[in-house]
Structure 1
């Protein structure tokens, strides 16, 4: 374990069918959106950090 920020670590990408719904739940739960919804080949996604500072992403094909 380290107290130093981790950069260039693995990005865990999770799936949810409704990005707006899960984005609101993440914000309510203390997550911070660090990259808003954007399109990419195969769908859309956004990135957030959890209350511990871990960066994750959620994607959907819609």
Structure 2
């Protein structure tokens, strides 16, 4: 399998928020970020370099943005995470644009891995 050049790199940051409109206003006004809406519970942002998202499908965790890595081979990466001692907290699921899973590292930090395949 050919590498995408971003395999196993941080690719996306996701914030659980209580109000997407308020988050858009704050980050747009404070930092000039741009936004793309994907329904009432999800909005993607771009700071011109990195993309991320705001979702209302979880509770806000101050200081706890979800770090999302990209994988060329999602299933292979899931196996590597488990073999390295990670605990899968949300099995692979699909969403518009791809598939992903969540895991906890040995210290309990939650991260996710996604693939467009």
TM-score, with length taken from structure 2: 0.46
Alignment partner for residue 77 of structure 2, among 2, 8, 22?
22
Number of residue equivalences: 56
State the alpha-carbon separation in 1 of the partners of residues 103 and 112 from structure 2.
Answer: 6
1:12-52 CA-partner distances (Å, limit 9, x unpaired) = 00000111100000001000000000001110000000001
State the alpha-carbon separation in 1 of the partners of residues 91 and 67 from structure 2.
Answer: 16
1:55 aligned onto 2:100:
no
Alignment partner for residue 35 of structure 1, among 64, 72, 90?
90
> Runs of 4 or more off by more than 3 Å in structure 1?
none
TM-score, with length taken from structure 1: 0.86
Q: Which consecutive unaligned segments of at least 5 residues does structure 2 have?
A: 1-59
SS for the counterpart of 2:101 is strand
Q: Which consecutive unaligned segments of at least 5 residues does structure 1 have?
A: 1-6
Partner of 2:100: 45
Q: Work out which structure has the larger RCO, using CA pairs closer than 8 Å and 6 or more positions apart in sequence.
A: 1
Alignment root-mean-square deviation, CA: 1.0
Whichever of the two has the greater Rg, that structure is: 2
